Amino acid sequence: MTGANSFSVSGYGPERAGWTRVFARDSLARRLDWPILLSATALSLIGSVLVFSATRNRTEINQGDPYYFLIRHLMNTGIGFALMAGTVWLGHRALRNAVPVLYGLSVLLILLVLTPLGSTVNGAHSWIVLGGGFSLQPSEFVKITIILGTAMLLAARVDAGDRTYPDHRTVVQALGLAAVPMLVVMLMPDLGSVMVMVMIVLGVLLASGASNRWVFGILGAGAAGAVAVWQLHILDDYQIARFAAFANPSLDPAGVGYNTNQARIAIGSGGLTGSGLFHGSQTTGQFVPEQQTDFVFTVAGEELGFVGAGLIVLLLGVVLWRACRIARETTELYGTVVAAGIVAWFAFQSFENIGMTLGIMPVTGLPLPFVSYGGSSMFAVWVAIGLLQSIRVQRPMSA
């Protein structure tokens, strides 16, 4: 712990009574980052409408209840919100102490996926079906524990004042910590998540002040790894086909290029203001696959047009912008590194998800933060919001 004026929320604040506590200069409400909170909430709500539009007619998956996915998405948002509150309440520093446990748990969970308990969805063996319509995608939580774990290792000696930058030994430790779950996820294979994790590691290393050699080393290794993966046929056929279709979408419009083509048609046909909510022919006709999850952005593109789709990009921009500020404004490196990791995660995942619907990125199975339907993803991103809020709340007050 650094600095005498660092501030803990619970238990340490001055005792005040009633609503004055809420509005006090140093109160929680005043210190929360409201733009992030409101943007994330807005994205989740927009997401619920889009998910509803994409699923209300799909009797084969909504069990005959048009509101099935809408209610679940709102429920997930609620749970996510609670998880955020819990995270803020606990504080990211308290969580730092729990990192070994959380990390161990998350690695255990993804290992479970590889056992017969796991199941395969869309070619990726990355799910644990819990029954009752619930399932878990542990790779989403691993993203958080990687951020927390690497941040803990990299920032420990710097925050203690022993060093200016993390030394090589620490970096190697951090990389090792990240590599274990990444290898497991790669085995699933969930290539999209691996890519996100690589980006997280890059972001974390950058923010920690680790030597440039490490940063460029990782980039070089990533490139070499990609070539190796391609050459050694580690990828499944469906993954290669996706990349080929990305390079040339008209190659096989009825086959692997279908997703990209239909997604682009859906978004392109939206025009400036879209066809109106629930009036998109591509959406109603279910031409775009996975439209409530990975391709949810196409619903916005078609039915809400440039205005609606642009608003989503803008809201994500607000979240990322504020997150960057949080990273810059906190005094302890641990908070900075965690925030930077989250920025890298959100930024890359959003870019990849929206980019693939727009035909500028290859298709991978990544959800759009807050907007896509899916509990695990929703919980994870809200926990991340909680971490960001905690970092901001516990930063030193300005004069």
Contact residues for other proteins (CB under 8 A)? 2-3, 158-159, 161, 164-165, 203, 206-209, 262, 264-272, 281-282, 284-287, 301-302, 305-306, 309-310, 313, 316-317, 320-321, 324, 327-333, 336, 340, 343-344, 347-348, 350-351, 354-355, 358-360, 396, 398
C-alpha torsion 179→180→186→192, nearest 10: -60
| Distance in angstroms (rounded) separating the CA atoms of residues 46 and 229 | 38
- Closest approach, Cβ 247 to other proteins, in A, equals 17
- Closest approach, Cβ 66 to other proteins, in A, equals 15
Q: Toward other proteins, which CB reaches closer, 107 or 343?
A: 343
| Distance in angstroms (rounded) separating the CA atoms of residues 385 and 383 | 5
Which of 51, 125, 43 lies closest to 381 in space, CA to CA? 43
Residues 6 or more apart in contact with residue 29 via CB below 8 angstroms: 22, 23
- Closest approach, Cβ 372 to other proteins, in A, equals 16
Q: Toward other proteins, which CB reaches closer, 16 or 328?
A: 328
| Distance in angstroms (rounded) separating the CA atoms of residues 302 and 345 | 26
State in Å, rounded, how far the first CA of the chain is from the last one.
Answer: 21
- Closest approach, Cβ 314 to other proteins, in A, equals 8
Q: Toward other proteins, which CB reaches closer, 53 or 208?
A: 208
Taking CA atoms, 119 is separated from 112, 115, 116, 189, 220, in Å, by 10, 9, 7, 12, 33
Give the amino acid at 347.
A
- Closest approach, Cβ 328 to other proteins, in A, equals 5
Task: Give the long-range contacts of residues 237-244, CB within 8 A, separation 24 or more.
Answer: 238/123, 239/123, 239/189, 239/191, 242/362, 242/363, 242/364, 243/362
Q: Toward other proteins, which CB reaches closer, 49 or 356?
A: 356
- Closest approach, Cβ 109 to other proteins, in A, equals 29
Q: Toward other proteins, which CB reaches closer, 46 or 83?
A: 46
| Distance in angstroms (rounded) separating the CA atoms of residues 293 and 365 | 9
- Closest approach, Cβ 95 to other proteins, in A, equals 20
Q: Toward other proteins, which CB reaches closer, 297 or 373?
A: 297
C-alpha torsion 295→299→300→303, nearest 10: 160
Q: Toward other proteins, which CB reaches closer, 183 or 397?
A: 397
